[in-house]
Amino acid sequence: MSVNQHLLNVIDLKTRFYTPEGTVYAVNGVSFNVAHGETLAVVGESGCGKSVTMMSILRLIPTPPGKIVSGQVLFNNEDLLKLSEEKMEHVRGKEIAMIFQDPMTSLNPVLSVGRQLTETLRTHTHMDAAQARTRAAELLQWVGIPQAGNRLGDFPHQFSGGMRQRVMIAIALACTPDLLIADEPTTALDVTIQAQIIDLVKHLKQEMGMAIIWITHDLGVVAGMADRVIVMYAGFIVEQADVYALFDGALHPYTLALMEALPRADRRRAQKLKTIRGAPPSLLMEPRGCPFAPRCEFVHERCIQENPTLLEQAPRHLAACWVNVLTGELRP
């Protein structure tokens, strides 16, 4: 697929935060793409740069202390990093929407959900107040909120956690965006509600044909909904593959370690879950060498001195590693 056929094409994106403690190297040359109608999962532990990457795409990085220092974000072949703030306000919500992690802090507590929905509609469409209110009720019903018309005047605290997240989804989908970014939208919910929200998003995606970037640390969720997966570590993409290829044979030691730490139904009772030794590197230090090297069981001297680039090591399967994890030998 050529670059022009991608809905989103991120090229060498770098984001820094300049703090009293020093420079935080949050995103370090990230490149990936999303096709029309595709679901891309972004996986990694807390602090690896998943959310900062997506906030950078939407230019929501607080400045100062943050700054996007280089890169391109091509959305429908237009670089979002070069648009005026006025044009970006049109893109946010209408063409690219985002669902945030905690609906209680994402929704305005002093405005009714109806007001928050109609505000989105009236900002990005030509609806009048009555039309926007009718559409808002339809959206709440669409995402599974009972007696939707009667709930427009209610405030966020009058909804359960799962219902608040449904309201967030309704707001995000109000203007039928081409791309939905979901930043760990089920983290604060119990397991039953998580499953309902995931099923809802999958259903709405089929109806609308939109692309989705789903940020998560839960590999179980990824297996059930993603087409492709990106694995991030310390601000870098370390592996990228189709979802079945990744689960069938990960090619980066970090991804392998994540897989081995995942509970499995076929695991023997006496067999313990593996842990990843050590801790992630400080992002206050400028990257040198492979960021996973201090924790890696396959580490070689070259890994400490030189950071591997993300290269195709199998068809449509990219990994940033000097070592062939199947043999333990260095790659040429």
Q: Is 46 helix (H, G, I), strand (E, B) or coil?
A: coil
Taking only the tens place, the pLDDT of each residue in 204-235 is 888 888 999 999 887 878 888 899 999 999 99
CA distance 296 to 155: 49
b/e per residue 185-195 (b: at least 16 CB within 10 A)? bbebbeeebbe
Cβ contact 250:240 at 8 Å: no
CA distance 115 to 21: 41
Residues, the chain: 332
CA distance 57 to 72: 9
pTM: 0.88
Question: pLDDT tens, position by position, for the chain (332 residues)?
Answer: 444 478 999 999 999 999 999 999 999 999 999 999 899 999 988 888 899 999 999 999 998 899 999 999 999 999 999 999 989 988 888 899 888 877 667 788 889 999 988 988 888 887 888 888 988 998 888 888 888 888 999 999 988 888 888 888 888 888 888 999 988 877 767 777 778 878 888 888 888 889 999 998 878 788 888 999 999 999 999 999 999 999 888 999 999 888 887 766 666 666 677 778 888 888 998 888 999 999 988 888 899 999 999 988 888 999 999 988 877 788 77
Q: Is 42 helix (H, G, I), strand (E, B) or coil?
A: strand
For residue 211, the model assigns a pLDDT of: 93
Taking only the tens place, the pLDDT of each residue in 265-287 is 666 666 677 778 888 888 998 88
For residue 278, the model assigns a pLDDT of: 81
